[in-house]
Amino acid sequence: MTKHKTLAAWLAFVGGPLGLHRFYLHGLGDMLGWLLPIPTALGFYGVQRVQQFGQDDLWSWLLIPLLGFTIAACCLTAIIYGLMTPEKWNARFNPTLSEEAAAGRTNWLTIGAIVFALLVGATCLMSSIVFSFQRYFEYQIEESRKLSQ
């Protein structure tokens, strides 16, 4: 089966946290594809905990960044796929085709996947880092206030 670079980039961007790009490229037997939904689900559970218990919940600030980092990593994967040369793409994912086969070529849809993945991935990564550090330092301040009283 021919594997197209544009479709793989969009699958990594849109369905990456569920492992869809891994299943497309490596088949249903890919272990990483089956493991990717775990941190995604834990991150969504952290979001649920914030909605249920508020921002002071300790587990939420540990779980929410898992979702952000998973999304950011999948966006990075989409960027890597999109920027791969046709020769390298076809050699890796379409070894039976010629190096210049159309499946590995970059087109405007590929560029769109790269642009959106860069935008969303950078936003998720920075938001996860900021959220984690903010909650960590607020927790440290609360604990030091308890000790000082």
pLDDT, tens digit, 9 for 90 and up, residues 40-75: 999 999 999 989 988 777 788 888 899 999 999 999
Spatial separation of the C-alpha atoms in residues 149 and 141, rounded to whole Å: 13
pLDDT (average), residues 22-26:
95
The predicted pLDDT at position 134 comes to 85
92 has a pLDDT exceeding 80: yes
What residues make up the domain containing 127?
Answer: 5-148
Provide the pLDDT confidence category of residue 146 given band limits of 50, 70 and 90: confident
Q: How far apart are CA 141 and CA 131, in angstroms?
A: 15
C-alpha pair distances (Å), 75 with each of 88, 105, 130, 133: 20, 19, 18, 22
Instruction: Tell me the average pLDDT across 28-45.
Output: 94
**Residue 29 binned pLDDT confidence (cut-offs 50, 70, 90):** very high
Query: What is this structure's pTM?
Result: 0.87
pLDDT average, residue stretch 112-118: 96
- Domain count along the chain: 1
Report the distance separating Cα 34 and Cα 96, nearest Å: 27
